Amino acid sequence: MFYTIDILGTIAFAISGVLVAIHKKMDLFGILIIAFVTAVGGGTLRDLLIGNTPVSWMKDITFTYVILGSAVFAILFKTKINYLRTSLFLFDTIGIGLYTLVGIEKGLNAELHPIICIALGTMTASFGGVIRDILCNEIPVIFRKEIYATACILGGITYFLLREFPIKDDYVFVIAGIVVIVVRLLAVKFKIALPTIYSKENI
């Protein structure tokens, strides 16, 4: 279950990276690089922080194949995607939901405090997108007022709360992941955002 979630998250983030790169009119090499850093950027930082080296994708070549396959798929079928922005948002949202759980599980395996595990989950989910946006000359979503990292944190809290009840781990994973995705979707649909310190004149 955990390995499957990791693979699915990799696919979702790789495709979101491809969509951004295509929108920026990058060449084939640029598209592949953006897909790769989006998919493994957060996990690489997480593994380095907890001392898990070589990092996960270096120890399992499957992740490289998955990223390349996802990138090729997204490139070949880009003309089938009628709403590029909507597709990017969907894959990015699915990615953060799945990767939040991957990061939390890695933290638990390292016997870290639940708060640190949630931080690792949020980092795993967010920092691939941060690197992607920086390379594409965009302000990362996590640094704007949109609900992004907050959704990861709420999903992480849900995960640890559910662990206190006699619920199968598989169900805990699914429910916590859905919380992240639903919170993100609802926040965008109803334009829910974190408060800002800037006045309207300064925005």
pLDDT at 90: 85
Residue owning tokens 């990362």: 140
HSE at residue 83, side-chain half, CA atoms within 13 A, is 5
Asked if residues 121 and 180 have their Cβ atoms less than 8 Å apart, the reply is no
**What global pTM score does this model have?**
0.86
pLDDT at 198: 65
pLDDT at 43: 95
Q: What is the mean pLDDT of each run of 10 residues along the chain (203 residues)?
A: 86 91 93 96 96 94 96 85 68 91 94 97 94 92 81 96 93 95 91 71 52
pLDDT digits (tens, 9 = 90+) for 75-132: 888 777 555 567 778 888 999 999 999 999 999 999 999 999 999 999 999 999 999 9
Asked if residues 55 and 124 have their Cβ atoms less than 8 Å apart, the reply is no
Rounded to 5 degrees, what are φ and ψ at 146?
Answer: -65, 150
CA dist 70 and 179 (Å) reads 25
CA dist 91 and 132 (Å) reads 14
CA dist 175 and 160 (Å) reads 11
Rounded to 5 degrees, what are φ and ψ at 193?
Answer: -140, 160
Domain assignments of the chain as residue spans, ordered by start: 2-195
Asked if residues 12 and 95 have their Cβ atoms less than 8 Å apart, the reply is yes
Hey, is 166 helix, strand or coil? coil
